[in-house]
C-alpha cells in the first residue's frame, strides 16, 4: 500500500529567515559528529573524560561511554527539541528499525525516535540512538525506503564511525559533547533558542565539525544494503531514494538541497555502487509495504498541513482518485482533517464507515476515540478506547489514551490498576510515569505520586526536578519504612547521575539533603 501523495517539501511555504540556520545546525549536529575539546570550564570535571586517543577506535570509547553519550544527548533532545510523542508513530518507527537492527549484530540496544520537523533528515548518535525527522517519512515512497535510511544509520553505529572520528581530538568530555549536540538539535527547530543554547555551551570550548568521510558513507551503504536484504526489504530502495532526492533538487537553489544529501553527500558513483550491490543480492521475495506505512504517512501528512482546512481540501480531492485501497486511506486522512477542523459529524461518518469495513484496523478505532474525546463525549470515548485496548492489549496508544481519559473523568482507581499491570517493568517510557503519577495524586497517594513524578523527570533528563520531587516524597507524612528506603536509594541514583553531568557537586547536595533531614 503506497501513498501517491506529494512529498512534504511541496506542502510547505518558502523557507523563512531561519531555514538556512536550521539547515546549518542539522548539518553540523545531527549527522556529522561535533567534537568538543574540554577547556577550563565547569564542564571539564563533569564526568569521566575519554582516554587519550590512540590508533584503534575500540580503545578510545567503550560501549559504556557510548551509552553515556547517547543518554546525555537524549536528555538534551527531550528537553529542547520537538520529539514526537504519539505512540502510534513511535511504535511504527521502532518496529521498522528493529526489523532491520536485529540482523546487525550490534553489541548494545537500539533506540529509535522521531523529531517533528519538515526537514528531510535522519541521524545516528553513539549509544544506539537513531533519530528520524517526520519530513523524511513524508518524502519516502515506500517502506523499504524508510528501512534503507535506518539501515544506513544503524551501520554507522555498528561500525562505530562516531567513535572513530573522535580520534581527531585529544580529549573529549561526554557531557560537553552531548550538550552541544542538544543545543544544535534545538537550533534545527528553533534557531533563536538553539543559538542561545549553543553560545552557552561553547562559551569556554572550541568546536570542531568533522564530516563523515566518504569511506564511512560507502561502508554504511554496503552494510546497510546487506541488512535490508536480510530483513526482507528491497535492497534497491537505498539507491532509488538517494537518486530521487538528488534528481528532485538538481536544478533548484543549492540552499534547498535536503539535509540528508548535505550530511550524507550523494554522488553519481555512490548511487551506481548502491544499485550494483543491490543487484548482486540476487532475486528474493521482498516485503510488501505494511498497512501501517500508509496509515502513519497519512497521519503525519495531516499534522504537517498549515491548517486543517488545507488538509480537508487535499483529501477531498484524493477521495475521487486512485484505487479503492488508496481511497480508503484518503477517507482516513479526511476523517483526521475533519476532526482537527472541528467538523465532528463528518469525521464521525467517515470513521464509522471505516470501522465497519475494516474493524481489525486499530488506527481507525483510536481515531474515533480521539474524535469523541475532542467532541466532549467522554463516556463514548472511553468505550471506544477500551475496545481498542481489548483488541490490541499491548498497544501503548490504546492503553495510554484510555488511562489518560480515566484520570480526567475521576476514574483514577481503574487507571492505576491498568497501569500497574501494563508493559515491561524494566522498560517504562516517560508518559507511563506521567500518567501513573497523575492517578496516584488523584487517589491521594502523595508519597508514591511524587516518587513516580521523579521517575518521569528522570526519564526526560530533568534531574534537578526529579531530585526535588524525591525530597518532597521524603517529607510526605505517613510514608512507610519501605517507601523511605526506596526514595533514599533513588535519590542516591539521581545524585550520582547529576554528579556525572555537572561535576563535583555531589558532596554539597548530599550535605544539603542530610541537613534537611536532620532539621
Question: CB of 177 within 8 A of CB of 36?
Answer: yes
How many other C-beta atoms lie within 10 A of the C-beta of residue 39? Answer: 14
The one catalytic residue among 221, 259, 340, 445: 221
Residue of 426, 406, 429, 408 lying closest to 417 (CA atoms): 406
**CA–CA separation, 183 vs 25, rounded Å?**
9
Q: Residue 273 CB: number of other CB atoms within 10 A?
A: 16
3-state SS, residue 427 = coil
Active site annotation includes 66: no
Q: What are 115's three cell numbers?
A: 523529531
Q: Which of 66, 71, 88, 153 is catalytic?
A: 153
Active site residue 492: no
Q: Give the separation between CA 164 and CA 517, rounded to whole angstroms.
A: 47
Using DSSP, state whether 37 is helix, strand or coil.
Answer: strand
Q: What is the CA angle 368-374-376, rounded to 5?
A: 105
| Contacts (Cβ under 8 Å, ≥6 apart) of 357 | 328
Q: What are 226-229's contacts with CB under 8 Å, separation 24+? A: 226/281, 227/100, 227/101, 227/103, 227/104, 227/151, 227/154, 227/155, 228/100, 228/144, 228/147, 228/148, 228/151, 229/278, 229/281, 229/284
**Cα(491)–Cα(470) distance, integer angstroms:** 7
Residues annotated as catalytic are: 153, 221
Amino acid at each position: 500500500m503506497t501513498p501517491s501523495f506529494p512529498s512534504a517539501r511541496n506542502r510547505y511555504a518558502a523557507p523563512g529567515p531561519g531555514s538556512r540556520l536550521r539547515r546549518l545546525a542539522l548539518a553540523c549536529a545531527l549527522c556529522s559528529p561535533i567534537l568538543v575539546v574540554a577547556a577550563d570550564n565547569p564542564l571539564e570535571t563533569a564526568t569521566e573524560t575519554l582516554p587519550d586517543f590512540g590508533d584503534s577506535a575500540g580503545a578510545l570509547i567503550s560501549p559504556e561511554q557510548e551509552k553515556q553519550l547517547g543518554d546525555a544527548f537524549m536528555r538534551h533532545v527531550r528537553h529542547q527539541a520537538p520529539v514526537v510523542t504519539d505512540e502510534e508513530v513511535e511504535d511504527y518507527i521502532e518496529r521498522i528499525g528493529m526489523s532491520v537492527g536485529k540482523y546487525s549484530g550490534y553489541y548494545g540496544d537500539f533506540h529509535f525516535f522521531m523529531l517533528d520537523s519538515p526537514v528531510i533528515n535522519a541521524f545516528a548518535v553513539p549509544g544506539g540512538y537513531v533519530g528520524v525527522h517526520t519530513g523524511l517519512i513524508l518524502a519516502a515512497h515506500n517502506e523499504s525506503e524508510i528501512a534503507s535510511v535506518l539501515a544506513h544509520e544503524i551501520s554507522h553505529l555498528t561500525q562505530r564511525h562516531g567513535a572513530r572520528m573522535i580520534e581527531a581530538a585529544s580529549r573529549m568530555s561526554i557531557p560537553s559533547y552531548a550538550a552541544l549536540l542538544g543545543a544544535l538539535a534545538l537550533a534545527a527547530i528553533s534557531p533563536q533558542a538553539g543559538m542561545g543554547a549553543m553560545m552557552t555551551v561553547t562559551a569556554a570550548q572550541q568546536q570542531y565539525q568533522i564530516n563523515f568521510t566518504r569511506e564511512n558513507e560507502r561502508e554504511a551503504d554496503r552494510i546497510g544494503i546487506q541488512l535490508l536484504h536480510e530483513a526482507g526489504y528491497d535492497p534497491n530502495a537505498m539507491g532509488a531514494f538517494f537518486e530521487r532526492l538528488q534528481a528532485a533538487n538538481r536544478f533548484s537553489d543549492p540552499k534547498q538541497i535536503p539535509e540528508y544529501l548535505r550530511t550524507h553527500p550523494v554522488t553519481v558513483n555512490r548511487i551506481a555502487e548502491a544499485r550494483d550491490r543491490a543487484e548482486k543480492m540476487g532475486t528474493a521475495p521482498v516485503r510488501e509495504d505494511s498497512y501501517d506505512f500508509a496509515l502513519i504517512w497519512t497521519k503525519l501528512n495531516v499534522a504537517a498541513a498549515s491548517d486543517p482546512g488545507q488538509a480537508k481540501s487535499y483529501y477531498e480531492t484524493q477521495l475521487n482518485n486512485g484505487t479503492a485501497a488508496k481511497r480508503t486511506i484518503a477517507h482516513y486522512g479526511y476523517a483526521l482533517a475533519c476532526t482537527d477542523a472541528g467538523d465532528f459529524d463528518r469525521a464521525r461518518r467517515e470513521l464509522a464507515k471505516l470501522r465497519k469495513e475494516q474493524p481489525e484496523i486499530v488506527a481507525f478505532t483510536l481515531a474515533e476515540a480521539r474524535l469523541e474525546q475532542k467532541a466532549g463525549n467522554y463516556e463514548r470515548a472511553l468505550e471506544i478506547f477500551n475496545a481498542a485496548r481489548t483488541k490490541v492489549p499491548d498497544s501503548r496508544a490504546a492503553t495510554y489514551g484510555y488511562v489518560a481519559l480515566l484520570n480526567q473523568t475521576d476514574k483514577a482507581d481503574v487507571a492505576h490498576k491498568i497501569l500497574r499491570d501494563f508493559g515491561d517493568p524494566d522498560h517504562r517510557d516517560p508518559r507511563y510515569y506521567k500518567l501513573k503519577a497523575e492517578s496516584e495524586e488523584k487517589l491521594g497517594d502523595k508519597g508514591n505520586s511524587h516518587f513516580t513524578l521523579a521517575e518521569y523527570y528522570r526519564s526526560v533528563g530533568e534531574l534537578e526536578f526529579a531530585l526535588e520531587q524525591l525530597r518532597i516524597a521524603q517529607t510526605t507524612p505517613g510514608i512507610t519504612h519501605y517507601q523511605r528506603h526506596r526514595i533514599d536509594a533513588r535519590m542516591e541514583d539521581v545524585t550520582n547521575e547529576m554528579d556525572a553531568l555537572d561535576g563535583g557537586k555531589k558532596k554539597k547536595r548530599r550535605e544539603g539533603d542530610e541537613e534537611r533531614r536532620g532539621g
